[in-house]
Homo-oligomer: A and B are copies of this chain.
Amino acid sequence: MKIGILGSGKMGGGLGKVWAERGHSVMFSFTLEHDNLKTLADSLKPNACVGTPREAADFGDVIFFAPQWAQVEEALMQAGPLTGKIVIECVNAVKPDLSGPLLSAGTSASEEIARMAIGARVLKAFNTIPASHIDAHPPFMRGQTETVFYCGDDNEAKAVTARLIRDAGFDAVDAGPLKSARCLESLSLLLIELIVFQKVAPDAAVKLLY
């Protein structure tokens, strides 16, 4: 699968690396650390390269969209039209001090991104997974497979997303329509509370038992 990465920080860089290692073709873009990204892409040849956001958007059958919330509009503007594209995003709109959500309850980062990226098939996934868990092979926590929830309104796009989640080594669980992103973003706030404020553990993740 051809995957364009918009936002190649820890999450975008880490997942792009894993997908390239699994045989997908990845184009990284939109990063503050261009030299590091070039080194990463070179180490993954011929399955990875670096491009501009617009090149990555054109390249990908699937776009993995992982900028910070504050960079969402800029990333979309640089990418240009995403009509018809499968856009998997992992954005959490959280206050800079991590104390709570930036958006009101009646929406979610996913729904706002879908509103801005006209015609794109937007899905949420990976927003509850710490970036540090991505690069483990396989990404086990206490010997167990973590759950990646995904949601969206397009069934074909959801099937592709589930496959990419499994390719990255996680259990993929369908959380329903894009509106469920409200619950998934709230779950990321719960994990922030547990890890950052309650210090339950330096690292924690959710496994759905079913």
Residues of B within 8 A of A210 (CB): 141-142, 194, 200-201, 203-205
Copies of chain A in the complex: 2
Question: Are A142 and B194 closer than 8 Å at their CB atoms?
Answer: no
Alpha-carbon distance between A193 and B197 when the two chains are bound, in angstroms: 28
Interface residues on A, range: 35 or more
Partner among B101, B182, B190 whose Cβ is within 8 Å of the Cβ of A175: B190
Question: Are A194 and B209 interface neighbours, CB within 8 A?
Answer: no
Q: Using an 8 Å CB-CB cutoff, how does the interface string of A163-198 with B read, 1 for contact, 0 for none?
A: 000000000011110001011101101100110011
- Complex contact B174–A198 (CB within 8 A): yes
Q: Does A106 contact B (CB under 8 A)?
A: yes
In the bound complex, how far is the Cα of B183 from the Cα of A198, in angstroms?
Answer: 14
Q: Which residues of B contact A208 (CB under 8 A)?
A: 194, 200, 204-207
Contacting residues, chain B, for A187 (C-beta < 8 A) = 183, 186-187, 190
Interchain CB contact (< 8 A) of A198 among B105, B141, B176, B201: B176
Q: Contact partner of A209 among B186, B193, B205, CB < 8 A?
A: B205
Q: Check A204/B200 contact, CB under 8 A, given A176-B193, A194-B175.
A: no
How many Å lie between the Cα of A187 and that of B194 in the bound state?
Answer: 14
**Cα separation A142 to B184 with both chains bound (whole Å):** 23
Residue in B184, B193, B201, B207 whose beta carbon sits within 8 Å of that of A206 in the complex: B207
Measured between beta carbons, the chain B residues less than 8 angstroms from A144 are 207, 209
A22 CB, min distance to chain B CBs, angstroms: 23
Interface check A149, CB cutoff 8 A: yes
Complex contacts, A190 vs chain B, CB 8 Å: 149, 175, 180, 183-184, 186-187
CA distance A150 to B139 in the complex (A): 27
| Additional A-B contact list (4), CB under 8 Å, known A174-B198, A206-B208 | A141-B210, A144-B207, A175-B193, A204-B208
Show the binding face of A for B, using Cβ within 8 Å. Answer: 101, 104-106, 141-142, 144, 146, 149, 173-176, 180, 182-184, 186-187, 189-190, 193-194, 197-198, 200-201, 203-210
